[in-house]
A and B are shown apart, each in its own frame.
Chain A
């Protein structure tokens, strides 16, 4: 499979090369945190449990954006408990946004796969082995956790939230035809170079950033697999879905609609 430049080899030829070395796979979990002092130890404990029980090689990279609540303290304790080869602290001084947190985290990642997820316990690490299995099954560039298909679901959402969520997802599917059922989800597994490439190309923020990643992935002909996940929302009480979020979501959606 000839290609003129190594960096522009077709996704297909790269996939074929990578299938040969399953033993050497390492998974880097990027955990951007802001004020997660309570949840951080718990999520790390769950991650360590899932990975060790499945015998998977991993590392957890904690990217704390100068949390005032002492998240960094707790992270340092976790590093001592589990070892600096498993828990990597790569903090930043102030809250700088998700895209840059991923970039920062990836600079220090030694894995060939990256897992992104929320640190607030809404995403459960038990699904990670399933992501990995799915990725190998279809040799996917990306595996996305979906709340909307199969056994996927949520806990802690009221009727209004569900209606808005399904409604927004419906409009997104109609307008963007993205080939993935959950675009705003942020529990995903990426090949490292795929994530790097996509972040370069993405310009939006928040929910829309996650959507844009999938849309761009389609444009670049990356393959996407899906795994149903349960999303346990424990913070919904604090108006996470106000008029503001809805309007910025619509703005982002229409921008993607008009530009991709």
Chain B
């Protein structure tokens, strides 16, 4: 069996993924079929954000990964220079 904290964190990630998925599915797939006067629309941002937000998050992630890789490679170069 997995230890306590690991289980909590793991299941926490599962919960987050389900919440995001549900909200986003409602936003993209369901909302267009619900009458525009319905009260539910006030819980969702304007539709353009449905693409803009994931795009921004995706680019940030790529940036982070790129920076991480660059950092590691630079650190490597410095180490090999020292040993020469």
Binding site for A on B (CB under 8 A): 5-6, 9, 68-69, 71-73, 75-76
Contacts and interface: CB of A to CB of B under 8 A. Distances in A.
B71 A243 contact: yes
Interface residues of A, number: 8
A247 B5 contact: no
A259 interface: no
Q: Which 5 A-B pairs have the closest CB atoms?
A: A243-B72, A247-B72, A159-B6, A247-B69, A244-B72
B75 A243 contact: yes
Q: Is the interface of B mostly helix, strand, loop or mixed?
A: helix
Given A243-B71, A244-B72, A247-B73, 7 more contacts: A159-B6, A163-B9, A243-B68, A243-B72, A244-B76, A247-B68, A247-B69
Interface of A: 159, 162-163, 243-244, 246-247, 250
Nearest to B5: A159
Contacts of B72: 243-244, 246-247
13 contacts: A159-B6, A159-B9, A162-B6, A163-B9, A243-B71, A243-B72, A243-B75, A244-B72, A244-B75, A244-B76, A247-B68, A247-B72, A247-B73
Nearest to B72: A243
Contact of B69 (A159, A163, A250): A250
Contacts of B69: 247, 250
A115 to B, nearest CB: 29
A247 B76 CA distance: 11
A243 B75 CA distance: 10
B57 to A, nearest CB: 17
A236 B55 CA distance: 37
B2 to A, nearest CB: 8
B52 to A, nearest CB: 26
A158 to B, nearest CB: 9
Contacts of B9: 159, 163
A257 to B, nearest CB: 16
